[in-house]
Chains A and B, each alone.
Chain A
Amino acid sequence: MKRYVLVLLIALLALSTTAVWAGAAAEKAPEGPVKIVYWRSLTGVAGEVQEELVARFNASQDKVIVESQFQGAYAEILQKLLAALAAGNLPDVVLLDSPFVALFAKDGALVSLDQFVKKDKTGFDLDDYIPGLIQDGYYDGSLYAMPVMRSTPLLYVNGDMLVEAGLPRRAPKTWDEFREFSKKVSKYNAAGEPIQLGAGFTMGQTSAHWYFQGAVYSFGGQVSDEQFNIHLTEEPAIKLATLWQDMVFKDKTAMPSNSHDDLLNRKVAMVFGSTGSMGNLLSRADFDVIPAFMPGQVQNLVPVGGSVLAMTSTDKFRQDAAWEFMKYMTSAEANSAIVIKTGYMPVSKSSMAYPETVAYFQANPVRKVAVDQLQFTRPQASVISLGKGTEILRQMIEKLLIANRDPKRVMEETSADLLKEYNDSFK
């Protein structure tokens, strides 16, 4: 009898003490280096470069030791962050998909960076960051996130296919030209089935909305503004929606697509893609891939995507350590390494002027499109940060390009859904 009780007690003690130790460790002032945890995302070169930078940071000083933990794709990081919040056991620095800064900052899950910027005496300068890239790190006037692996939507074009169709070896400059090129490139067999088409429109919840936003910008409109007014029923958005729909159902020169695979398999001549995919696409294609701006119509303007670094640390000493790490990850040296390895955009003026970055773009002029597009960036539509925002836009694109429903009606429904979601979940 006693033995059982003893065993149970020991088991209980063992359980509770681990929690106590973990708690105690967080409270007391550190002796020696502060250990912090960094949650990273992304695989392939984009993942390797983060590991490399963490190792470099650890080797460069002896005050902070960063442990980098891979937590899966952007969406998985979000889920794990929710679980960590519930458990009260948070990482110190986390890589976030940029639209989610507002969502987490709103409910106090992120640490404001203002105090660290103010007390930093190392010559740190916020103005060094590209304005379009630091802008979405703010929520309600406070800085919550720093730009790290930023991307813009691009148009990737199969140059060989254009030339075969008697077109010049360059990307279309406007959406009208985009439609024209698509007509010339499309081919069908005797049964009328398409052999190759002009364009593939990206579907799905992850990024379909991003390319749509960019296209609406280029028509001079926007999906929603900072006050959550929704502008989908205005002329630019309707015009664009009608154009895409007509290309799929009237011209039959475009299709809903898995985008990258369809480009690589020569099913379509043009797809949208992130600057972050440039390295991947250029190396995998066995034809001439031209990375280009998204077509403009009345202007060149794209919503910036990709990831930012945010602080979730709950302990004062670890917060200081986290700040040092965040500064390093977004520094010219680190950012230059990211740019060269992955094709993501430089996030600061000093990174752009960094000797290695300059040399790299001289040697690889085709990749320079990422830098050229920097001046045409602005944050994504505010509705993207609503929990269901991307899903509602996904439904909108499916209604347009799969169900072939009237664009005006679709836009009205989508606006109503977005407004309802805003009132439900954000206000």
Chain B
Amino acid sequence: MDFTCRQQPKGVCAVRGDSQKVFREGKFRRQTMSRRARKDALAFIGFTAPNFILLGVFVFWPIVYSLFLSFFKWNMIAPKKTFIGMDNYVSLFNDPVFWQITRNTLALAVFTVLFKLGIALSLSIQLNRNPRGGSLYRAIIFSPTFTTSVAVAMVWTWIFEPTYGLFRFLFRAVGMTSPDWIHNIHWALPAVIIVLVWSGIGYDMVLFLAGLKNIPQDIYDAALVDGVTPWQNFIHITFPLLSPTTFFLTVTSFIGALKAFDIISIMTDGGPLNSSNVYVLYLYQNAFQWFKTGYASALALILFLLIMVVTLVQNRLSRRWVHY
């Protein structure tokens, strides 16, 4: 620009409309910002600074610092941190428990999202028909959303109890004996999934209901005239028009499930034999129970990458099925 301007006769360059720089007397001068523009800029900084400082201190800095720590061996007590390069990452990939909990976490996320969204969607379709007492049902189904997870975990631990818990009646009804969910290698993870699904349905259902209410009635009326079946109605109208909501819930639920912690920590503490241990719990145990800060930081970084990849993939796939 500068170069070309110099080739031009006086004034031509200015006409080309560089608003910040004006070609005057053979050279550029930076036009000073007007008082008003300066005021605006400062107001912008003033309003965003508190937020930015908070995010910086509590989000960005910890991320950078944990990346830094992941190259060290440190127990958080010793004054000295020992630099060990990539060792934390090497031992992480050689740690069979790491692969076990990664599998657990992905299984937990996939099944939780599938069941939770499936059940929430069918419930919201039923409730959208305004059945008698619909608002009561809605309130009941929504109630786990505002129940403390500690209470949820305690009550479900009791429900899963094989000799006096509630669930054993279901098993007895079909002539089976209830497994000892919490103390069984094969049942502990399903138990956790059931609780996560149960406690998440309400929130998803409310969002689905809002999505359903946004679908214009005249589309259904037109379909009715064309004589579609209820199933075609769902496949060709409801599901596509609900897809933004479904997409939003899939992404948030999946990330939420990857970060599952509290309920598992209380119900099984990851046991038995890590069969219900998941990523964030393992990270927490490493950092705060076993004092392996560097190792935990490496885990955190991998989780960060995992979530990023999952979200990117979901975003990419969404172009095929989400209609805004």
Asked if A387 contacts B38 (CB within 8 A), the reply is no
Task: Contacts A82-B76, A256-B183, A391-B285 given; indicate if A399 touches B273 (C-beta within 8 A).
Answer: yes
Task: Contacts A391-B289, A425-B291 given; indicate if A205 touches B269 (C-beta within 8 A).
Answer: yes
Q: Is A130 an interface position by the 8 A CB rule?
A: no
Asked if B77 contacts A267 (CB within 8 A), the reply is no
Q: State the Cβ distance, A270 to closest chain B Cβ, in Å.
A: 17
Q: Which of A109, A255, A265, A388 contacts B290 (CB 8 A)?
A: A388
Please name all residues of chain A whose beta carbon is closer than 8 Å to the beta carbon of B163 when the two chains form the complex. Answer: 193-195, 267
Measured CB to CB, the nearest residue on chain A to B188 is A402
Q: How far is the CA of A109 from the CA of B79 in the complex (A)?
A: 9
Q: Is A10 an interface position by the 8 A CB rule?
A: no
Q: How far is the CA of A108 from the CA of B273 in the complex (A)?
A: 34
Task: Contacts A79-B288, A193-B163 given; indicate if A402 touches B272 (C-beta within 8 A).
Answer: yes
Measured CB to CB, the nearest residue on chain A to B53 is A11
Q: Is A59 an interface position by the 8 A CB rule?
A: no
Q: How far is the CA of A106 from the CA of B291 in the complex (A)?
A: 14
User: Residues 288-316 of chain B: 1 if any A CB is under 8 Å from the residue's CB, otherwise 0?
Assistant: 11111000000000000000000000000
Measured CB to CB, the nearest residue on chain B to A78 is B288
Q: Is A112 an interface position by the 8 A CB rule?
A: no
Please name all residues of chain A whose beta carbon is closer than 8 Å to the beta carbon of B77 when the two chains form the complex. Answer: 82, 85, 103-104, 106-107, 109
Asked if B184 contacts A402 (CB within 8 A), the reply is yes
Please name all residues of chain B whose beta carbon is closer than 8 Å to the beta carbon of A399 when the two chains form the complex. Answer: 273
Number of interface residues of A (CB under 8 A): 37
Q: How far is the CA of A204 from the CA of B38 in the complex (A)?
A: 62
Number of interface residues of B (CB under 8 A): 29
Q: How far is the CA of A86 from the CA of B81 in the complex (A)?
A: 12
Q: Is B164 an interface position by the 8 A CB rule?
A: yes
Q: Is B155 an interface position by the 8 A CB rule?
A: no
Asked if A108 contacts B184 (CB within 8 A), the reply is no
Asked if B164 contacts A387 (CB within 8 A), the reply is no
Q: How far is the CA of A318 from the CA of B177 in the complex (A)?
A: 61
Please name all residues of chain B whose beta carbon is closer than 8 Å to the beta carbon of A425 when the two chains form the complex. Answer: 75, 290-292
Asked if A203 contacts B164 (CB within 8 A), the reply is no
User: Residues 80-112 of chain A: 1 if any B CB is under 8 Å from the residue's CB, otherwise 0?
Assistant: 001001100000000000000001101111000
Residues facing B in A325-376 (CB within 8 A) are none
Q: Is B78 an interface position by the 8 A CB rule?
A: yes
Measured CB to CB, the nearest residue on chain A to B80 is A107
Q: How far is the CA of A276 from the CA of B75 in the complex (A)?
A: 30
Q: Is A394 an interface position by the 8 A CB rule?
A: yes
Q: Which of A85, A191, A204, A395 contacts B76 (CB 8 A)?
A: A85
User: Residues 174-186 of chain B: 1 if any A CB is under 8 Å from the residue's CB, otherwise 0?
Assistant: 0001001001110
Q: State the Cβ distance, A201 to closest chain B Cβ, in Å.
A: 10
Q: Is A21 an interface position by the 8 A CB rule?
A: no
Q: Is B131 an interface position by the 8 A CB rule?
A: no
Measured CB to CB, the nearest residue on chain A to B177 is A193
Q: State the Cβ distance, A330 to closest chain B Cβ, in Å.
A: 24
Asked if A387 contacts B272 (CB within 8 A), the reply is no
Q: How far is the CA of A391 from the CA of B272 in the complex (A)?
A: 11
Please name all residues of chain B whose beta carbon is closer than 8 Å to the beta carbon of A191 when the two chains form the complex. Answer: 177
Measured CB to CB, the nearest residue on chain B to A79 is B288
Q: Is A1 an interface position by the 8 A CB rule?
A: yes
Asked if A398 contacts B272 (CB within 8 A), the reply is yes
User: Residues 44-57 of chain B: 1 if any A CB is under 8 Å from the residue's CB, otherwise 0?
Assistant: 01100100000000
Asked if A107 contacts B183 (CB within 8 A), the reply is no
Asked if B76 contacts A402 (CB within 8 A), the reply is no
The listed residue with most A CB atoms (<10 A of its CB), out of B42, B163, B274, B292, is B163
Measured CB to CB, the nearest residue on chain A to B162 is A193
Residues facing B in A383-404 (CB within 8 A) are 387-388, 391, 394-395, 398-399, 402-403
Asked if B273 contacts A398 (CB within 8 A), the reply is yes
Task: Contacts A395-B273, A402-B185, A402-B272 given; indicate if A1 touches B291 (C-beta within 8 A).
Answer: no
Interface majority SS (helix, strand, loop, mixed), chain B: loop
Q: Is A9 an interface position by the 8 A CB rule?
A: no
Q: State the Cβ distance, A103 to closest chain B Cβ, in Å.
A: 7
Asked if A403 contacts B273 (CB within 8 A), the reply is yes
Please name all residues of chain B whose beta carbon is closer than 8 Å to the beta carbon of A285 when the two chains form the complex. Answer: none
Q: How far is the CA of A425 from the CA of B294 in the complex (A)?
A: 12
Q: Is A75 an interface position by the 8 A CB rule?
A: yes
Task: Contacts A1-B42, A193-B163, A267-B164 given; indicate if A103 touches B291 (C-beta within 8 A).
Answer: yes
Q: State the Cβ distance, A86 to closest chain B Cβ, in Å.
A: 7
Q: Which of B76, B183, B290 contacts A203 (CB 8 A)?
A: B183
Q: How far is the CA of A230 from the CA of B76 in the complex (A)?
A: 26
Asked if B271 contacts A203 (CB within 8 A), the reply is yes
Please name all residues of chain B whose beta carbon is closer than 8 Å to the beta carbon of A86 when the two chains form the complex. Answer: 76
Q: How far is the CA of A288 from the CA of B249 in the complex (A)?
A: 54
Q: How far is the CA of A4 from the CA of B42 in the complex (A)?
A: 8
Measured CB to CB, the nearest residue on chain A to B46 is A4
Task: Contacts A1-B38, A107-B78, A108-B79 given; indicate if A402 touches B269 (C-beta within 8 A).
Answer: no
Please name all residues of chain A whose beta carbon is closer than 8 Å to the beta carbon of B185 when the two chains form the complex. Answer: 402-403
Q: How far is the CA of A205 from the CA of B45 in the complex (A)?
A: 49
Measured CB to CB, the nearest residue on chain B to A426 is B75
Task: Contacts A108-B79, A256-B183 given; indicate if A398 touches B271 (C-beta within 8 A).
Answer: yes
Task: Contacts A107-B79, A194-B163, A267-B163 given; indicate if A82 touches B273 (C-beta within 8 A).
Answer: no
Please name all residues of chain B whose beta carbon is closer than 8 Å to the beta carbon of A104 when the two chains form the complex. Answer: 77
Q: State the Cβ distance, B76 to closest chain A Cβ, in Å.
A: 4
Q: How far is the CA of A109 from the CA of B291 in the complex (A)?
A: 14
Residues facing A in B24-65 (CB within 8 A) are 38-39, 42, 45-46, 49
Q: How far is the CA of A75 from the CA of B288 in the complex (A)?
A: 9
Asked if B42 contacts A107 (CB within 8 A), the reply is no
Asked if A265 contacts B164 (CB within 8 A), the reply is yes
Measured CB to CB, the nearest residue on chain B to A205 is B269
Please name all residues of chain B whose beta carbon is closer than 8 Å to the beta carbon of A106 when the two chains form the complex. Answer: 77
Q: State the Cβ distance, A89 to closest chain B Cβ, in Å.
A: 15
Please name all residues of chain B whose beta carbon is closer than 8 Å to the beta carbon of A394 when the two chains form the complex. Answer: 271
Asked if A203 contacts B272 (CB within 8 A), the reply is yes
Task: Contacts A388-B290, A403-B185, A425-B292 given; indicate if A107 touches B75 (C-beta within 8 A).
Answer: yes
A-B contact pairs, 11 of them (CB 8 A): A4-B42, A75-B288, A82-B291, A107-B79, A108-B78, A193-B177, A203-B271, A205-B289, A388-B292, A402-B273, A425-B291
11 other contacts beyond A1-B39, A394-B271, with CB at 8 A cut-off?
A1-B38, A1-B42, A75-B289, A85-B77, A108-B78, A203-B271, A204-B271, A256-B180, A391-B290, A398-B273, A403-B272
Closest 4 CB pairs of A and B: A107-B78, A387-B291, A387-B290, A107-B77
